[in-house]
Amino acid sequence: MGKTRELGSSGRTILVIGRFQPFHRGHEFLLKGLSEGGRNFLKVAIGSSNRAGTADNPYTYSRRTEMIRSLGSSGLCNFSIFPVPDVKDDRKWLVLLLEKSGNFDFAVSGNLLVRRLFRGAGLLALRNKFFKRRIYSGTRIRKRMKKGLAWKGLVPKGVGRIIG
């Protein structure tokens, strides 16, 4: 399972794992920070890609991909996106993720279980830096949408137009 590669002058390849339900300004802050102005290449794994139409996972994989791609107009350009469906067995999920991701230098996830799975496999997984977590949270945004409260200021403009 050797999934690391040699670091070079071109930067790092970073695997970013999230559900992005919806993609919000906290996610935007994370991806832009990790990209270091395009120096690093981001492999964005959209988790629960086989889930949609529920309270916790309202958006399809393709809609979430569209949300992330809308950032291209705001400077995020050096990345790829791929789906990772939920699998009931954590070990099988990790194997699937690693097969789909290819080589990377390290992973970033806000999910403690994901980080533990990586560490158990001898891989480096860092906790992402949350940007104003109390404000920019997918759960909070979904609740605001359900209640008819303002939410568009919590997502990038392109995302607001997509799901608006």
Interval 52-67: pLDDT, tens: 999 999 999 999 999 9
Q: Exposure of 20 by Cβ count < 10 A (0-12 exposed, 13-18 middle, 19+ buried)?
A: buried
pLDDT of 91 over the 50 cut: yes
The residues spanned by each domain of the chain are: 13-163
C-beta of residue 13 within 8 angstroms of C-beta of residue 104:
yes
pLDDT of residue 95: 96
List % helix, strand, coil for the chain (3-state, nearest 5).
40, 15, 45
- Give the residue-averaged pLDDT of 17-28: 91
CATH class for the domain made up of 13-163: alpha beta
pLDDT of 10 over the 80 cut: no
What pTM was computed for the model? 0.86
pLDDT of residue 9: 43
pLDDT of residue 133: 65
* Span of 20-29, 50-59, 65-74, 140-149 with lowest mean pLDDT: 65-74
Q: How far is CA 18 from the centre of its chain?
A: 3
